[in-house]
Chain A
Amino acid sequence: MKILIVDDFSTMRRIVKNLLRDLGFTNTHEADDGLTALPMLETGNFDFLVTDWNMPGMTGFDLLKTCRADPKLKDIPILMVTAEAKREQIVAAAQAGVNGYIVKPFTAAVLKEKIDKIFERLEQK
């Protein structure tokens, strides 16, 4: 399972990377905003995207919408891990096709639960 972690703060990328490693996902790659993430997603054959919302360049929300509009990336599971906590934002992300939404600060258990749920759902399809 090849995973791309997108966050503008290197410490947060490291935290997510470490948590994913503990969950058994070792093939992780990093990008610091949507603009650097997109070309990686286009060519990298990623299976899963974990992204922050608030980033310079291109936000995670725009990255989400761009992926869903891209025939190659429209089905990639996307988990948002963000400090953005407005109800309208969560609704907007859901409508844009996000697969999971985690608000920071979060725990390892929450990350595991959401990832399990996303893949459980994908298997049902």
Chain B
Amino acid sequence: MALNSPGEQTSEFEQILKESTSELIQKVESGNLSDAVNLIQRINDERNRNLYLEVGRLTRALHDAITNFHIDVGVASPATEEMSKMANATDRLNYVIKMTQDAANQTMDKVDESAPVADRLRDQAGALRKDWARLVRREMKPEEFRELYRRIDDFLRETEEQSDSLSGNFNEIILAQGYQDLTGQVLVKVISLVQEIEENLVNLVCMAGQVDKISGITHDDSDREKPEAHAPEGPIINAEERVDVVSGQDEVDDLLSSLGF
């Protein structure tokens, strides 16, 4: 959505204001007060006209923006009610949280399943190796050897089975990473929506600026909310560009030890 450039009307008003000012001074100096008062009235009328124009334009742009972002006729699912782009974006981001969480849990489930299998194989192999060493040193009685014979057979069979289950788990861990493709696509959509909103907001702010100019309104920034001290900020995205953040655990440790930790 492209909003009209608000520049022209204002420059027209500024032009009139400039022209009229010198005329006004002339009239006042030459003592023609009645003409001067009429001129002031004309400037004022012109200012009001321009103000109405700008406010009207701003209102329309605001309305367009609201229409644009709130009605996203469900092309994908025509059966559902019309959904605002914002609500849609929120759903999309929640979907990303859910997908990444599910993937993390699936991966950890499979690792939790696999770790004891690997531990068991290691323990069995360790025990067998000890007995095997006794056999090599010819310290084993025949009946012990028959027992070892059977255990090696069991171990080989079990190793085969457990390796299958391990590689199955590894494959599922790989598959669980498939979320990255899906969440990536969703995030790209949300990013483009944010960019669109940003552009529109900038336009609206420009238009509102014209209204302020004509109406002579100035804004006081002093009541703007100050960020709360030590408010959490979450992960730092651009740590290299910032001096107020640490870039890793080493810097945390250095900072803390400089404080006597």
Show the binding face of A for B, using Cβ within 8 Å. Answer: 9-11, 14-15, 18, 53-54, 59, 61, 83-92, 94, 101-104, 106, 110
Contacts and interface: CB of A to CB of B under 8 A. Distances in A.
B157 to A, nearest CB: 30
Contacts of A92: 229-230
A12 to B, nearest CB: 9
A9 B97 CA distance: 10
Nearest to B232: A54
B259 A11 contact: no
B246 A53 contact: no
A86 B105 contact: no
A106 B249 contact: yes
B41 to A, nearest CB: 58
A17 B21 CA distance: 76
B235 interface: yes
Interface residues of B, number: 24
Contacts of A15: 108
B233 interface: yes
A44 B261 CA distance: 28
A77 to B, nearest CB: 13
A14 B102 CA distance: 13
Given A53-B232, A61-B232, A101-B256, A85 B101 contact: no
B127 interface: no
Contacts of A54: 232-234
B234 A86 contact: no
Contact of B249 (A14, A88, A94, A110): A110
